[in-house]
Amino acid sequence: MASRSRAVSSGFTKAPTFSVTTASQLHDAIDRLLPRLRGDPSLAPAARALAAAATASPPPPSTVLSNRLLHLLSSHPATLPDALALFSSIAAPDICSHNTLISALSRSPRHLHSARELFDRMPQRDHFSWSALVSGYARHGQPGDALALYRRMQEEPGNDGADDEFTASSALAAAAAARCGRAGRELHCHVVRRGIDAAGGDAVLWSALADMYAKCGRVDDARRVFDRMPVRDAVSWTAMVERYFDGGRGGEGFRLFLHMLRTRGVRPNEFTYAGVLRACAEFAVESFGRQVHGRMAKSGTGDSCFAESALLRMYSKCGDMGSAVHVFEAMAKPDLVSWTAVISGYAQNGHPEEALRYFDMFLRSGIKPDHVTFVGVLSACAHAGLVDKGLEIFHSIKEQYCIEHTADHYACVIDLLSRSGRFERAEEMINKMAVKPNKFLWASLLGGCRIHKNVGLARRAAEALLEIEPENPATYVTLANIYASVGLFDEVEDVRRIMESKGISKMPASSWIEVGRRVHVFLVGDKSHPQADEIYALLKKLYVKMVEEGYVADTEFVLHDVEDEQKEQDIGYHSERLAVAFGIIATPDSAPVKVFKNLRICGDCHTAIKLISRIVQREIIVRDSNRFHHFKNGICSCRDYW
């Protein structure tokens, strides 16, 4: 080693300098450089120089030292070509040499083919060889190849030692990615036969089993696996709670969370609280979210920026921007996610000026915006009709902040242009955009066509949407609404016939309101509620007062080609009106009436609820599938621009 004595430096500021005169010093230098290189590509020259120092003069380094250098160089994509060169220079690479390189190559989909070629050339393989490639295939969207490789491992003789919990976990992840419950079940049986899941077995394997079943739509089987786990920590509890939420089974998720709180030796962490708060926002159960907020404050978890951001989003998605901003202003040091959440919250709640004001404050904070931040800002401009401001911000994304435009950025701008009726500019942008239009863009264009009754362009948008989501009923319904609004009832019937021939049914509109920790759900013309008589009586009284104030039902929002009187009855008992009426009856006069709807609020209901808010002198908040509408004194926060 004396002949290799030299100082090694990367030539970059604060780069480590190594004096390597012995094998021991080389190992020490690798230990110091390895963790830093993983997160800092500027240290790549130092890693190359260290490898050059070790291999510059004979005798060649030992296999052990070569493998350590290989591990160093393969730890970052910037030095991966150097790792490949070093590997080719090793006279007799062993199984560790191959595994190190296969693991590095399989981290990138671009190099997965090279990893497979190297794997196939290996004279001998162990569990790490198989597991690295199986997990690589699963991670990069090739679950079929992952499962095929795992079956090959089972079939080839001499691989008994390779079939362990790590390889099985990777195969289960592949079955989950493929959403193949049958393959996953077969793997579970195999794991049981092999005894890999014996009591006290690997926690990763148990988690992979539960995850596989949940992602294949078998949440009950996932729960059975969870209940059999020999050790259940905060991570496994949190994962199972999230599986219920992801499966749309919010009630069971919340109950399991409460069970977790009562379980000794387990405490929710910031990720648990964040997941529960996300579900509170999704299922619109603000009262439960407030209880979670209180629990976080008592446990000290509320000091986590990650959990605080989830809390902020929960309040904003439940229409309470006052509480959301209170959380934000109490943060010691808001991060990018927190700023983006408050900007997007104001945009969705119909306060575009506040969204833009917070965006200006954010830019002055010194934190660099990302593409998600700009989606929130552009959304605010779209909801307010600030066309020039929105276009200015859109162009600044690339020109000033060097961020490539995403499909979501374009979708926001198309929303902005089409809402304002600038269809020629919108089409020009679509034809010239650098990325492929996504479903949100075409849906935005279709929504603009609905506002301005642009039948021709609506057909183009609908055709593009149906290519992406051929069975989405919302596209058919919106197109039919556009036809109905201009009296093209033959075309409406054509749309219906197409839907019937394809077995596509319209999603039933539903609205719900939380009163007294209970969620009350209403459908159109619904009379199943215990207080239905009171609800309908109130709506009739309100209708009389609305007519006195000049209300005329806008029947263009009803698809049926029927008499106007029947149309007026059809829209008079939409689900959101029933929920609003119940809210007026069942909540204190001082409290806002907060209603949620699974579809977009119809135009006539929007007009009616504005009048109702003035008649009863109550604030009424409606969150539909697109945004919040805050009604107060006969005015909506959207300013009728939606």
DSSP alpha helix (H) spans, 300-386: 305-317, 321-330, 336-348, 352-364, 371-384
Q: Lowest mean pLDDT: which of 25-34, 49-58, 313-322, 435-444? A: 49-58
Higher pLDDT, 276 or 161: 276
Is the residue at 430 inside a domain? no
b/e 538-562 (16+ beta carbons within 10 angstroms → b): bbeebbeebeeeebebbbbbbbeee
Q: Are 394 and 406 a contacting pair, CB within 8 Å?
A: no
Question: How high is the pLDDT of residue 216?
Answer: 92
Is the residue at 440 inside a domain? no
- Separation CA 499–CA 351 (nearest Å): 38
Query: What is the per-residue pLDDT across 363-390, written as a single tens digit (0 to 9) for each?
Result: 999 999 999 999 999 999 998 889 999 9
Is the residue at 543 inside a domain? yes
Tokens read off for 337 = 């996610």
Question: How high is the pLDDT of residue 495?
Answer: 94
Question: How high is the pLDDT of residue 162?
Answer: 67
Residue with tokens 């300013």, as numbered in its chain: 639
Is pLDDT above 60 for 557? no
Is the residue at 527 inside a domain? yes
Question: How high is the pLDDT of residue 560?
Answer: 45
Percent of the chain with pLDDT over 90: 61
Output the average pLDDT for the chain. Answer: 88
Query: What is the per-residue pLDDT across 618-634, written as a single tens digit (0 to 9) for each?
Result: 999 999 988 899 999 99
Host domain of residue 617: 510-636
Question: How high is the pLDDT of residue 565?
Answer: 42
Is pLDDT above 50 for 156? yes
Query: What is the per-residue pLDDT across 424-463, written as a single tens digit (0 to 9) for each?
Result: 999 999 999 989 999 999 999 999 999 899 999 999 999 9
Is pLDDT above 50 for 126? yes
Is the residue at 577 inside a domain? yes
Q: Are 601 and 627 a contacting pair, CB within 8 Å?
A: no
299 C-beta neighbours (distance < 10 Å), count = 15
Question: How high is the pLDDT of residue 300?
Answer: 77
Is the residue at 182 inside a domain? no
Task: Choose among 205, 212, 210, 208: nearest CA to 176.
Answer: 212
Question: How high is the pLDDT of residue 30?
Answer: 87
Question: How high is the pLDDT of residue 20?
Answer: 60
Task: Choose among 591, 588, 583: nearest CA to 619.
Answer: 591
Please report, for residues 74, 327, 394, the alpha-carbon distance to residue 447 in angstroms, rounded to integers and kept in the order given.
50, 34, 20
Reported as a pLDDT band with limits 50, 70 and 90, residue 6 is: very low
Is pLDDT above 50 for 1? no
Query: What is the per-residue pLDDT across 398-420, written as a single tens digit (0 to 9) for each?
Result: 999 999 999 999 999 999 999 99
Q: Which helix (H) or strand (E) holds 8?
A: strand 6-9
Is pLDDT above 60 for 7? no
Is pLDDT above 70 for 16? no
Instruction: Report the greatest alpha carbon distance in the chain.
Output: 101
Per the structure, the count of domains in the chain is 1
Query: What is the per-residue pLDDT across 507-523, written as a single tens digit (0 to 9) for each?
Result: 888 999 999 888 999 99
Is pLDDT above 90 for 159? no
Q: What is the mean pLDDT of residues 339-350?
A: 92
Question: How high is the pLDDT of residue 375?
Answer: 95
Residues 296/298/300/303 CA torsion (nearest 10 deg): 60
Is the residue at 606 inside a domain? yes
Q: 240-244 long-range contacts, Cβ below 8 Å, gap at least 24? A: 240/210, 241/272, 241/275, 241/276, 242/275, 243/210, 243/211, 243/214, 243/219, 244/219
What residues are paired with 325 via a beta bridge?
A: none
- Separation CA 442–CA 117 (nearest Å): 42
Q: Are 140 and 173 a contacting pair, CB within 8 Å?
A: no
User: Who's near 156: CB < 8 A, 6+ residues apart?
Assistant: none
Question: How high is the pLDDT of residue 602?
Answer: 85
Is the residue at 372 inside a domain? no
Is pLDDT above 50 for 563? no
Query: What is the per-residue pLDDT across 101-118, written as a single tens digit (0 to 9) for each?
Result: 999 999 999 999 999 999
Tokens read off for 543 = 């209708």
